[in-house]
Amino acid sequence: MSAGDGSGRALGRWWWDHVVLYVLAGLELLVQLWHDLVLAHGWDRKIEAQLPDVHGQCIVVTGGCTGLGHEVSRLLAQRGALVLVGCHHHSGGNICPCDVQEFGVPLPLDLSCPESIVTFARQVKVRAPNGVHLVVLNAGVLLAPPLHGYDAQYLINVHGHAQLLQLLTLAAGPSHQSRVLAISSSTSAYWPSLPTDYLQRASPATGPNPQARWSLARSYAYSKLALRHMVAAFADRADVRALVAHPGIVCTHLYRAVPQPLRLVYELAAPWLLRSPRQGALAVLAPLVAAALPAASEAQLTPAPHLHALLPQAVQHRLQVTPQAQLGSTLLLAPSRVC
């Protein structure tokens, strides 16, 4: 257990945060099942049928070896895009251990390592000299322990992506606005505001015990909220369209760090109860379907097609991204080397 600084208060906070995470996620799962099986049966096939033709477009997907990123890459490649896939566990040679090369171009990418991000961005530039039309910020970790002294959720989910966005050249033209699609999470609505000292506390300079910052459950939620702020701020600044999507609760490797006995329950029940990676990918690609796009450039969270509208007004409001993010531009600052 990463219970923090060992004090009773820290332990209580750890338990409370995990209870909040699992209870709210359980409730969300019930709503999701109701939506997927009763209210909007076949929603995934409808979205798949409406996915736009992306021939001639270059698309970057991070964390595409597994799970949602893998399915997002495959779906976009089937629609004609050149998909450049950031693979974390790339062998380092020419061959990627996953099957991405069957539909896209696997490129090594470790978002916790600035040098790896720079190399990845260079390789993207070589393959897409006219720029990238869509960047899918998909890679992410949940309940991961600190890395290089940083909160790993911040380092990979937020900071690595911010650095990558700064390095990529986005394609622009009179008939096209490039887009950034961030895979966020509805957990960011469970703790809907970031601590004002979030950046300081996520960095190594916070003291001897980094885990005393906050529980890893909350750390994930904060990172996904910060990602939304970062993308909204980037879009405002770079004149691109930002989209933020939630895939629903999907059966992937993301939950590998969930503590026992919940982990066992997850392994037994997930394949039956949760969305498949393909369904999760279609949920996050829903904002690309023309009819679902907002008129103006703005961020939006789509928990599931139509699900948003079912939520109480107060919750709907929480799921909207405020373009004038409280932290926005600060999150785009790149820190010094960490590996």
CB of 96 to ligand NAP, least distance (A): 10
CB of 174 to ligand NAP, least distance (A): 33
Alpha carbons 141 and 25: distance in angstroms, whole number: 17
Ranges of H-type helices in the chain: 8-33, 43-50, 67-78, 114-127, 152, 161-167, 198-202, 216-238, 262-273, 277-285, 307-310, 313-319, 328-331
CB of 29 to ligand NAP, least distance (A): 10
CB of 7 to ligand NAP, least distance (A): 29
Residues that bind ligand NAP (CB under 6 A): 62-63, 65-69, 86, 88-89, 109-112, 138-142, 156, 183, 185, 246-247, 249-250, 252-254
Alpha carbons 307 and 244: distance in angstroms, whole number: 15
Other Cβ atoms closer than 10 A to 97: 11
Amino acid occupying residue 82: L
CB of 4 to ligand NAP, least distance (A): 22
DSSP 8-state assignment for residue 173: B
Nearer to ligand NAP (CB atom), residue 54 or residue 221:
221
Alpha carbons 107 and 85: distance in angstroms, whole number: 6
Residue 83 pairs in a beta bridge with 59
Backbone angles phi, psi at 225, to 5 degrees: -70, -45
Nearer to ligand NAP (CB atom), residue 10 or residue 108:
108
Nearer to ligand NAP (CB atom), residue 123 or residue 177:
123
DSSP 8-state assignment for residue 36: I
CB of 313 to ligand NAP, least distance (A): 23
Backbone angles phi, psi at 98, to 5 degrees: -90, 180
Q: Is 224 helix (H, G, I), strand (E, B) or coil?
A: helix
DSSP 8-state assignment for residue 253: G
Nearer to ligand NAP (CB atom), residue 88 or residue 179:
88
Nearer to ligand NAP (CB atom), residue 4 or residue 63:
63
Nearer to ligand NAP (CB atom), residue 2 or residue 276:
276
CB of 56 to ligand NAP, least distance (A): 27
Nearer to ligand NAP (CB atom), residue 2 or residue 177:
2
Alpha carbons 290 and 304: distance in angstroms, whole number: 16
